[in-house]
Structure 1
C-alpha cells in the first residue's frame, strides 16, 4: 500500500494555517470559494468571516445536491470547491469523485480536508482531488502532543490553462525577479508557491520538535486507526440499542445511508468520530459529558485516548442554528472521538454516565 499519491507537499504549523495558505494561493481580492455546508465549526468561521479580511468570499452549499453545486461553481470568480472527506462531527461521507467531475468541467480545483479519514482510510487524490489538506495535529500525530498541518499537491491541475485565473502560479512573481512558478516548476507550481511565498509571507512554519513528534506518530497510524475504527463501531452499535439514545450517526452502522460511500472512499470503515443524540435534550448532554471518567470532556480529537464533547456549545458554538443543524451539531447531540482503550471499559463508562444524567 502506498499513501504518497501527490507530487509534493507543504507542512505548516496547524491545519487551519494549511487551509489559509491554500486560499491565499488560489484567491485574489473579489474571488470566491465554494464550500460544503457540512464542515468543522472553526473552518466555517474561517471561511465565513476571516477570509473576508483578505477580500475573499465563500458560499456554502449542500454538496450532495448536484444542481446546487453546479450553480455555485458557475458563478464568476470561483476559485475552488472545499469539502471534508469525512465530516466533523456528523459522520457524513462525501462523494469525492462526483464532485471532482463537476469541478473539472469548469476548471476549478477540488480541495479536500482529509483530517478525520487520514491517508490510511482515504486517499482523495485517487478519486480526483487536486489539493488535500490535513490537520496533522489529529490522527496523523495521534497522541495530542504536537500541532501541524499539511498541504498535498496532486500535481494534476493546469494553473496556466485559463490566462489570469490563477496568477499566483501562472503569472510572473515580482518578489523573485519575475519567476513564473508554472513555467519553472511545472506540475509542482502550487507547492512551490506555498513554500516560497506562502510560508514566507504568512509565516506558519512547522516547528522542528512538532515535526519529529508527528513523524513518530505516523509510524503507528495503521495500527491506531484499525483499533479506533473497530472500537467506534462497537460503541455506535451499543448506543443504537440504548433506550435513552434518540439517534446515532456513524457511516458503517448497518442501514446508514453512507454505507456505500464508506465502502468506496474510506476502506469500508467509519473512522473514530461518531455522534449520538439523547432523548432528554441539551442538559442531559452536559451531564453525560461531565459524568464520563474514561472519556475526557475535551474539544480536541485524534488522540489515542477517548474524548467527548457537546459540539453545539463548543466546537460549533460560533455558528448559526441553521449552520449547526447542517453540520450535525444539534443541541441534544454529543460527539465521541473513540480511542484505543478496551472497548468494554468505554461502553461501561458511557452506560454509567448516561444512567446518571
Structure 2
C-alpha cells in the first residue's frame, strides 16, 4: 500500500494500532497481563505522573494491549483518540463524569436501551446529575428541553430494542446551537454501518461487549473523542478548561487540543473511578474486531430476511426494522446506515405478553438471554426482563411494550434461523 493511500475499513479493522511485538516479533498483539510497569528512572516516573510524557504506569490507567484496542476503535470511528473501559455502562459513566456537576442536566433520547434508561433515571441521581427525556420522533422535543443546566445530549444511532434510526445531524444542530456536545451510543450500528462523528457527533460510546467483540465472550466499553468540540469556549466544562491542581495546574484542553476529552476521561475519570478493562478482554475484543465488517454484513443480510418473513406471519402484528421499505426509519437508514439496518429488530405478537413469554420458552436454536451482537441468534421478551423495572408508559416509549419481542439475528444459516422461529410460533 502506498504512503498516500488511505486504508480501507477492513484493513483498519485488522491493522489499526497494531505492530509486531518489538520484544518477541509476535504478530498478534500480546496480552500484557500485568498490573504495573517499571520506570526507566526517577525523572521518567515524574514525567509520566505529571502528564509530560506518554507511557504506562498502572493497568488501571493504561496498558499496551488496551492501547491497541483504543487506537483501532478511534480509527474505525474517525475520532482523534479513545478510552477503553470495563463495559458500556462504564463508558457512559466516565463520559458524563467529565461533563457534569451536581444539578446539571443531560438531555437523553427516550429511545434507549432499558439499562441506560435505568442508569440515567436512578443511578446518576446519586451524583446529582439529572436527565430530561426527549422523543427523537420530533426534533423540537430536544430544542424545548435545552436549559442553562444542559451539559450534553445523548442518543443512540440505532435504538435498542426497537431498531429505530435517529436523525443524528438534526440533533447535532440542536446541540451546536446550545453549545453542548452530542454523545452518540453507536453500539447497534458499529462503525461499519454508521460513523456518527461524520454526522455531527462530538463523542461516540460503545458497549464493546456487543458487535465489536461479536462473540459474547468478553465485557468492554469505549469512548471515542471526536476532536470536534471547543471545551474552553464558555467555561461550561471546568474539567477541561481550568487548571488541574493534581497535575501542577495543567489545562487539559490547552495542552492536549483535539484529544483532550479522551485524556480527561483517562487521567481524571478512569484514574479515580477505576472501571478498567482487563488486558485479556481487550485482546479478545481486538480479535473480534478483525472480522467486524464480514460479520456485520452477514448480520444485516440475515436480519433483513427474518424481518421480511415475520411481516407475513399470521401471529405477528407488526415488525420494526429499518431495512423494511415501509418502516418509519427506512429513509433515515438510507442516510445514516446505507450498508444495512443491523442485526437487532423487534416485532409485536398479536397474543400480547403471554405470546411473547411462550415464544422465548419454545425456541431451540435461539438463545434466550440478555445480550445482543453475538454470532449466535438471541431472543428476549423485554417487558419481562431487560425493561421490567420501567413503568408501562416507559416500556412503550422505549419500544418495549408487553407484546414486543427482540431478536439479535446471528450468523447461522438463514433457513435454520427462520425454521426455529416458525416452530416456536407454532408451538405457542
Q: Which category describes the TM-score, using the shorter chain as reference length? A: over 0.9
Match of 1:7 among 51, 76, 80: 80
Give 1:63 deviation, angstroms.
Answer: 2.2
Aligned to 1:36: 109
Aligned to 2:356: 285
Aligned to 1:328: 399
Match of 1:106 among 149, 160, 178: 178
Aligned to 2:257: 186
Give CA-to-partner distance per residue, 1:6-56, whole Å, 9 cap, x none: 011000000000000011001011110000001000000110111111111
Give CA-to-partner distance per residue, 1:318-354, whole Å, 9 cap, x none: 1111111011101011100000000011111000000
Give 1:113 deviation, angstroms.
Answer: 0.1
Aligned to 2:63: none
- Which of these two proteins has the greater Rg computed from alpha carbons? 2
Equivalent-residue separation in structure 2 for 1:228 and 1:252 (angstroms): 12
Equivalent-residue separation in structure 1 for 2:273 and 2:372 (angstroms): 26
Match of 2:293 among 201, 216, 222: 222
Superposition CA RMSD, Å: 0.9
Match of 2:157 among 60, 76, 85: 85
Does the CA-based 8 Å contact 1:170-1:180 persist in structure 2? yes
Give 1:77 deviation, angstroms.
Answer: 1.4
Aligned to 2:217: 145
Give 1:224 deviation, angstroms.
Answer: 0.5
Give CA-to-partner distance per residue, 1:263-311, whole Å, 9 cap, x none: 1111241100011111111111111111100001111111000001000
Unaligned 5+ runs, structure 2 = 1-7, 10-75
Does the CA-based 8 Å contact 2:104-2:150 persist in structure 1? yes
Match of 1:307 among 375, 378, 386: 378
SS in structure 2 at match of 1:81: strand
Equivalent-residue separation in structure 2 for 1:151 and 1:45 (angstroms): 20
Equivalent-residue separation in structure 2 for 1:273 and 1:149 (angstroms): 19
Aligned to 2:30: none
Match of 1:72 among 122, 145, 163: 145
Give 1:317 deviation, angstroms.
Answer: 1.1
Runs ≥4 residues deviating over 2 A: 1-4
Equivalent-residue separation in structure 1 for 2:389 and 2:317 (angstroms): 25
Equivalent residue runs for 1:163-312 within 5 Å: 163=235, 165-312=236-383
Equivalent-residue separation in structure 2 for 1:273 and 1:183 (angstroms): 41
Does the CA-based 8 Å contact 1:244-1:278 persist in structure 2? yes
Match of 1:159 among 221, 231, 234: 231
Give 1:4 deviation, angstroms.
Answer: 4.2
Task: Between the two structures, name the one with larger relative contact order (CA 8 Å, sep ≥ 6).
Answer: 1
Give CA-to-partner distance per residue, 1:181-229, whole Å, 9 cap, x none: 0111112111111011111111011100000000000000011111110
Give CA-to-partner distance per residue, 1:144-194, whole Å, 9 cap, x none: 01010000001110000002x101111111111211101111121111110
Equivalent-residue separation in structure 1 for 2:426 and 2:88 (angstroms): 37
Equivalent-residue separation in structure 2 for 1:5 and 1:27 (angstroms): 25
Match of 2:206 among 116, 126, 134: 134
Aligned to 2:65: none
Does the CA-based 8 Å contact 1:252-1:268 persist in structure 2? no
Tell me how many residue pairs correspond in the alignment.
355
Give 1:67 deviation, angstroms.
Answer: 2.1
Give 1:64 deviation, angstroms.
Answer: 2.7
Aligned to 2:195: 123
Equivalent-residue separation in structure 2 for 1:243 and 1:138 (angstroms): 31
> TM-score scaled by structure 2?
0.82
SS in structure 2 at match of 1:172: coil
Equivalent-residue separation in structure 2 for 1:350 and 1:14 (angstroms): 31
